[in-house]
Chain A
Amino acid sequence: MADQHAIPTNIHPSRFAQNPLQRFLMATELDTRLLGMIGALAIIWIGFNIFSGGLFLTPRNLWNLSVQTASVAVMVTGMVLVIVTRNIDLSVGSILGVVGMVMGVMQTDILPSQLGLGLGHPMIWVLSLAAGLVVGVGIGALQGTIIAYLRVPAFIVTLGGYLVWRGAAWWVTMGRTVAPMDPTFQLMGGGPAGSVGSLWSWIVAVIACAAILIGLYWGRRQRRRFNFPLRPIWAEIALAIIGCGLVIGAVLVANAYPWPVRIAARYAEANGIPVPESGLFISHGIAIPVLIALGVGVVMTFIATRTRFGRYVFAMGGNPEAAELAGINTRWVTVKIFMLMGALCAIAAAISSARLNAATNALGTLDELYVIAAAVIGGTSLAGGVGTIAGALLGALVMQSLQSGMVLMGLDSPLQSIVVGAVLVFAVWLDTLYRRNKH
């Protein structure tokens, strides 16, 4: 206590750091856990790059990696909230399956034939997606209500849901695969057409950088308004450079991956563009599913950290009884969490089925395990109360990097499972160590 008296409250603690690294971390207020994960990701990437003979860190592979991560990334943002409140959702893969089927049938049968819109009608993708969202939210509401009001443990309810919704997915078409999807709907799955191209990627980059700068400025203004300690100016600048640098780097990579030669040639022919000697270079740019996942990440971070709902989620996770006594309607919050999870499953179902250009029975099989693993690797504590959206997104990227890296190296799939399982346990053990050291 005595030393605390000497410190005026509005001096930033980084003034008292002992070494430059500590000073940098304290001044920028970066989350060391998140930095650790980025470090782990870097090691995985570089390792795979070496062992695959330079195939991993190519624009093509990184772009594919981003698209492959999108579906799990969307769902993991909801799983964080579920796990933070000491619940679990084992049914997300099956929900994805049934919602994918519903959306498939909507766009191939119900809307074009039975409602007579005709194939390729511009409204088909919106209406299909909306139907999927309704089904997803409805399933979430049902499961959430049973968990919150009937007090059946989430583990059991969603284990039941795992079987029920997988069965329901089969029921929609009696097991028949639905294909092909609506051309506009397909854009949600990526591919050359489902990417925004170089110009729009740069526009996204500019918006993202502007958001970073405005966020830093706004944070500083708020602190000054209430006379809280300010980060040193150099730290703010460092944060701005790091943030914008990452954004620009990602866009450079996405833009460095060209359309396949044949597709580019066909496109040139169709639009009367002369093909130069060296071949036509058309950038993919950021894929639409990746933009969707990033958008979901931003929205979910906002919900988790800036809204009352998010605050209640974390308060409930730390101490459900205290939250109830504080006057929070914890049951209704629980239902809302599962509804949100259902909506995210629907978005993920759109991405997955669009990417596959088909809705199948097996869509989303095992996804629940990848989603839960990604959340946990990303620092979400199964004991409740702790977790971040950004961490979980990184966790999803780590999982997917491992998998596609092993595919690239030609590892057999049983071996892949063994590695992923071992890494999961190892990562959580590391996390336990980290938390124990911190407290």
Chain B
Amino acid sequence: MLDTRTPLVEMNDISIAFGGIRAVDRASIDLFPGEVVGLLGHNGAGKSTLIKILSGAYKRDAGSIRINGEDATINNPRDAKAYGIETIYQQLAVADNVDAAANLFLGREITTAIGTLDDAAMESKAREVMGRLNPNFRRFKEPVKALSGGQRQSVAIARAILFNARILIMDEPTAALGPQETAQVGELIKQLKSDGIGIFLISHDIHDVFDLADRVVVMKNGQVVGSARTEDVTKDEVLGMIILGKVPPGATPGPGAQTGLV
């Protein structure tokens, strides 16, 4: 059971409060190379907030982050990217008024020998990546604003996988996708996993993640209820963790576990 390798990511005792709301309360979570960890919980449980601390969007009030066993300083999204952390945000966070290629390369543009933007090269690469992800995608010249929700989501996903991420955070990545594209993202996750990339897959819907995840971590009211390897628990047991905070025998309880009910 015990994994002796160094975890790719260890977040320990992370807390953050917005005004009076303790959005994340002493949450700990870890991730190993080539592992998919499903982060589950009802709406407002604190999933997005927890991973936004890892991606540099929020600054934590307390707790520590270690990457590859070493203390990491993450104060902004640039720091996180420097550690190879790529994020697909729930609210997508695409720049609406520039095109798909510009979005894919935003902050990491391809430049020519004299330092100017090489738009043709970026568009060409964008066509290649988008072709793999969503072969129906044609609207490369349009600002992203003009795209459908699913197309925008494809752009956000393509951007995250374009730059050799080591740690990938996917916050509800398939919320706007059709069945075909969702299946494609599933395939993509398996492929990235086999490349040794660690993935946090976030959802409030257990069916999205159970088959893809190696492990699930359940959050409730900002706290971690418990974690379990998917092979040790059933979907119904995980559902019990999400809804009631009840930790089944196959799972490890966290600070948020409903102790009276065990």
Residues of A within 8 A of B200 (CB): none
Residues of A within 8 A of B145 (CB): 318
Q: Considering the chains assembled together, what is the distance between the CA atoms of A7 and B139 in angstroms? A: 12
Q: Is the CB of A322 within 8 A of B94?
A: yes
Contact partner of B138 among A9, A326, A329, CB < 8 A? Answer: A9
Q: Is the CB of B111 within 8 A of A386?
A: no
Contact partner of B98 among A223, A318, A325, CB < 8 A? Answer: A318
Contact partner of A321 among B93, B102, B111, CB < 8 A? Answer: B93
- Shortest distance in angstroms between A260's beta carbon and chain B's nearest beta carbon? 44
The residue on A at minimum CB distance from B144 is A318
Within 8 A of A (CB), among B83-129: 87, 89, 92-98, 102-103, 106-109, 111, 115-117, 120-121, 123-124, 127
Q: Is the CB of B146 within 8 A of A439?
A: yes
- Shortest distance in angstroms between A348's beta carbon and chain B's nearest beta carbon? 26
Contact A328/B97 with A307-B117, A311-B102, A318-B145 known, Cβ cut-off 8 Å = no
A306 at the interface (CB under 8 A from B): yes
Q: Is the CB of B106 within 8 A of A314?
A: no
Q: Considering the chains assembled together, what is the distance between the CA atoms of A223 and B120 in angstroms? A: 7
Which secondary structure dominates chain A's binding surface? helix
Residues of B within 8 A of A386 (CB): 97
Within 8 A of B (CB), among A284-321: 302, 305-308, 311-312, 314-319, 321
A18 at the interface (CB under 8 A from B): no
- Shortest distance in angstroms between A81's beta carbon and chain B's nearest beta carbon? 14
Residues of A within 8 A of B127 (CB): 9
Contact partner of B78 among A1, A225, A308, A329, CB < 8 A? Answer: A329
Q: Considering the chains assembled together, what is the distance between the CA atoms of A307 and B118 in angstroms? A: 9
Residues of A within 8 A of B146 (CB): 439
Q: Is the CB of A228 within 8 A of B107?
A: no
Q: Is the CB of B96 within 8 A of A326?
A: no
B81 at the interface (CB under 8 A from A): yes
Contact partner of A315 among B77, B81, B95, B123, CB < 8 A? Answer: B95
Q: Is the CB of A314 within 8 A of B120?
A: no
Residues of B within 8 A of A322 (CB): 92-96
Q: Is the CB of B96 within 8 A of A385?
A: yes
B161 at the interface (CB under 8 A from A): no
Q: Is the CB of B123 within 8 A of A226?
A: yes
Contact partner of B97 among A226, A318, A326, A329, CB < 8 A? Answer: A318
A41 at the interface (CB under 8 A from B): no
Residues of A within 8 A of B109 (CB): 308, 311
Q: Is the CB of A226 within 8 A of B77?
A: no
A36 at the interface (CB under 8 A from B): no
Q: Is the CB of A307 within 8 A of B116?
A: yes
Contact partner of B93 among A222, A302, A306, A319, CB < 8 A? Answer: A319
A323 at the interface (CB under 8 A from B): yes
Residues of A within 8 A of B96 (CB): 318-319, 322, 385
Q: Is the CB of A325 within 8 A of B87?
A: yes
Q: Is the CB of B120 within 8 A of A315?
A: no
The residue on A at minimum CB distance from B112 is A306
A414 at the interface (CB under 8 A from B): no
Residues of A within 8 A of B93 (CB): 319, 321-322, 325-326
A269 at the interface (CB under 8 A from B): no
Within 8 A of A (CB), among B46-92: 55, 57, 76-78, 81, 87, 89, 92
Q: Considering the chains assembled together, what is the distance between the CA atoms of A256 and B129 in angstroms? A: 56
A116 at the interface (CB under 8 A from B): no
* Count, chain A residues at interface, CB 8 A: 35
- Shortest distance in angstroms between B53's beta carbon and chain A's nearest beta carbon? 13
Residues of A within 8 A of B4 (CB): none
Residues of B within 8 A of A19 (CB): none
Q: Is the CB of B116 within 8 A of A226?
A: no
The residue on B at minimum CB distance from A222 is B120
Contact A319/B124 with A325-B87, A326-B106 known, Cβ cut-off 8 Å = no
Q: Is the CB of A315 within 8 A of B116?
A: no
Q: Is the CB of A328 within 8 A of B117?
A: no
Contact A327/B77 with A226-B121, A314-B97 known, Cβ cut-off 8 Å = yes
Q: Is the CB of A323 within 8 A of B94?
A: no
0/1 string, B9-20, CB within 8 A of A gives 1 = 000000000000
Pick from A302, A314, A322, A329 the residue with the most CB of B within 10 Å: A322
Within 8 A of B (CB), among A1-56: 1, 4-5, 7, 9
Q: Is the CB of A327 within 8 A of B116?
A: no
- Shortest distance in angstroms between A176's beta carbon and chain B's nearest beta carbon? 46
Residues of B within 8 A of A307 (CB): 115-117
The residue on A at minimum CB distance from B78 is A327
Q: Considering the chains assembled together, what is the distance between the CA atoms of A318 and B147 in angstroms? A: 14
Contact A385/B97 with A4-B138, A225-B120 known, Cβ cut-off 8 Å = yes
Contact partner of A324 among B77, B123, B138, CB < 8 A? Answer: B77
Residues of B within 8 A of A1 (CB): 136
Contact A319/B120 with A311-B102, A439-B146 known, Cβ cut-off 8 Å = no
Residues of A within 8 A of B108 (CB): 327
- Shortest distance in angstroms between A151's beta carbon and chain B's nearest beta carbon? 16
- Shortest distance in angstroms between B67's beta carbon and chain A's nearest beta carbon? 17
Residues of A within 8 A of B76 (CB): 324, 327
Q: Is the CB of A315 within 8 A of B136?
A: no
- Shortest distance in angstroms between B153's beta carbon and chain A's nearest beta carbon? 14
- Shortest distance in angstroms between B207's beta carbon and chain A's nearest beta carbon? 27
Residues of A within 8 A of B102 (CB): 311, 315
Contact partner of A318 among B81, B87, B95, CB < 8 A? Answer: B95
Pick from B93, B106, B116 the residue with the most CB of A within 10 Å: B106
Q: Is the CB of B123 within 8 A of A326?
A: no
23 contacts between A and B (CB under 8 A): A222-B120, A226-B120, A228-B120, A306-B116, A308-B117, A311-B117, A312-B106, A314-B95, A315-B95, A315-B102, A316-B95, A317-B97, A318-B95, A319-B94, A319-B96, A322-B92, A322-B94, A324-B77, A325-B89, A326-B106, A327-B76, A327-B107, A328-B107
Top 4 closest pairs, chain A to chain B, by CB: A318-B97, A385-B97, A315-B95, A327-B107
Not counting A319-B96, A324-B76, A326-B95, a sample of 18 additional A-B residue pairs whose C-beta atoms are within 8 angstroms of each other reads A4-B138, A9-B138, A226-B124, A302-B116, A307-B116, A308-B111, A312-B106, A314-B98, A315-B97, A318-B143, A319-B93, A322-B93, A325-B89, A327-B77, A327-B81, A327-B106, A327-B107, A328-B106
